[in-house]
């Protein structure tokens, strides 16, 4: 049996650019890509905390250490600089692979520096 699971997440990254006339994609600081395990050209889901928009594009590498999160092309209509977004990737795993699987979760400060990282989301309490 196969199961699709959250593979990686950049939590509450801050959009720094929205470039309508740039070739479509989302440019992400290379350090954040490496830390999260998101690969260049990998499909990503973006969830805009500011306006509720949810959309699919792919990741491209921005300059390491730049803090850049640039939503490009048509997706630039769905996010503006200053919006907080959650960027996720998913992958398919077998039952055997799931035994050792842990997602990579990276939590961002307002300037897209890393607050902390984890491999589990805390249990939500009432």
Alpha-carbon torsion (48, 56, 87, 61), positive or negative = negative
Residue carrying the six token digits 């998913």:
90
Residue ranges at the known binding site for substrate? 57, 73-75
- Annotated active-site positions, please? 25, 58
Residue 97 C-alpha from the chain's centroid:
23
CA distances from 118 to 66, 86, 103, 104, 109 (A): 22, 15, 8, 6, 15
């Amino acid at each position: 049996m196969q199961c699709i699971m959250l593979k990686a997440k950049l939590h509450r990254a801050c959009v720094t650019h929205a470039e309508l006339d740039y070739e479509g994609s989302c440019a992400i600081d290379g350090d954040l890509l490496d830390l999260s395990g998101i690969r260049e050209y990998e499909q990503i889901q973006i969830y805009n905390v500011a306006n509720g928009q949810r959309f699919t594009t792919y990741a491209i590498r921005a300059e390491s250490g730049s803090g850049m999160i640039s939503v490009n092309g048509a997706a630039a209509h769905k996010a503006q600089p200053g919006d907080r977004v959650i960027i996720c990737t998913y992958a398919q795993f077998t039952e055997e692979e799931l035994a050792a699987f842990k997602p990579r979760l990276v939590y961002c400060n307002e300037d897209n520096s890393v607050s902390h990282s984890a491999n589990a989301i805390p249990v939500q309490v009432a």
